[in-house]
Amino acid sequence: MQGEFTLGLAEAVETLLLDVQDVAQLIAPLVAVIGFIGLGIMYMASSWPILGDWKKDNPKAANQVVVGLIFVIFASSVTTLITFG
For the stretch 1-50, pLDDT in tens is 555 667 788 888 888 888 887 887 788 888 888 888 888 888 888 788 88
Q: Structural domain of residue 32, as residue ranges?
A: 23-84
Between 64 and 4, the higher pLDDT residue: 64
Residue 18 in any domain: the answer is no
Q: Which pLDDT value is given to residue 5? A: 65
Q: How far is CA 69 from CA 32, 38, 49, in A?
A: 6, 11, 26
Is there a domain that residue 39 lies in? yes
Query: Could you give the number of structural domains in the chain?
Result: 1
- DSSP 8-state symbol, 48: S
